[in-house]
Amino acid sequence: MASPGNSLSFNMDFTKHDYSSNLNCTLDALNYGNRCQDLASLGLTKNMPGGGIDSSVGKAFYRQPVLLWDNTTGEVTSFNTAFSFQIQMTQETKVLADGLAFFLSAYPPPDSTDGCRALGLFNLSSISISSPSHPIYCNSASVTVDKMSKQATTQMVAVEFDTYRNWWDPQQSGCHIGIDINNITSTVYEIVPNSSFIGKNMTAQISYNNLTQILNLLLSQDDDPTINFGISTRVNLASILPTEIAIGFSAATGWGTGSFEVHLLYSWSFNSTLVPRNNIKSTLSGWVQRFKYRS
């Protein structure tokens, strides 16, 4: 769990312990009464076939804001996070949709109830709407989005694991990984074969280097680590996000009969390097007091 008074570090194994008290779960991530996990996994969207699991959106994020950068010194944290997950088809699945994402956003993150095909990350009302030729269907509603104006007002950086090809997505394949920066369209992406993505236990490792400003993703299969995919991009997180942020996961299923999948998280670890200044002051004060006592 988190280390009080230090840079943030935690390790959650959802298959062994219930970490619901350490997370904020919203929308359809509350699969188990007022909790978002059982002792097998953390479910991000509705996960009971036959119970209407299309048009489902859910989020699970760390309960406390996380320090990203110091507004006095300008120092930005480096971080490493890893999580294992699986995207499953059900017997009723006809079309895979839509995927999940790890995100960093302003705290608290927005609840995107109309954002199924935007993975629950962006509110369509914050996106320019002007092109009737490109409809987006979600939660039994139809709106249109300008293909050239997908910039959102929300502060959001996300690493997506997308299973459905929308018109703004890469046209070569349905499944892909991507890095999204305040935009539904990925800044960088890589196509992932459906057979390597669906029904497999996957581990994602995401890192950010505060010196190089490189955000990096490595995705691999647990049963065959030689099957892996990777993308990276340069991004100045401090220019996009506030000093304290939310970190967590968002997922969504598609609109319409059979356009869905199940999103399960099995573990999540996170480590950052930036220590809050008040913690540094407390530590220095403690050292001074101990030195005086010993003298």
According to DSSP, the β-strands at 188-191 and 202-209 are unpaired
Residues 6+ apart with CB under 8 A from 195: none
User: Residue 195: in which H helix or E strand, if any?
Assistant: helix 194-197
Residue pLDDT, tens place only, 191-247: 888 777 788 899 999 999 999 999 999 999 999 989 999 999 999 999 999 999 999
| pLDDT reading at 36 higher than 60 | yes
Q: Supply the pLDDT for residue 94.
A: 61
Residue 179 in tokens: 């890095």
Question: From CA 33, how far away is CA 40, in angstroms rounded?
Answer: 15
Share of the chain above pLDDT 90, in %: 41
Q: Supply the pLDDT for residue 123.
A: 62
* Among the listed residues 179, 227, 231, the one whose alpha carbon sits nearest the alpha carbon of residue 202: 227
Query: Does the pTM exceed 0.75?
Result: yes
Residue pLDDT, tens place only, 104-132: 999 999 766 455 557 888 765 554 433 33
| Cα distances (angstroms) measured from residue 139 to each of 56, 119, 150, 165 | 8, 13, 20, 18
Biggest CA–CA distance in the chain, Å, is 78
Compute the Cα dihedral for 219, 222, 225, 227 and give only its sign: negative
Residue pLDDT, tens place only, 239-259: 999 999 999 999 888 766 666
pLDDT tier at 141 (50, 70, 90 boundaries)?
A: very low
| pLDDT: which is higher, 276 or 49 | 276
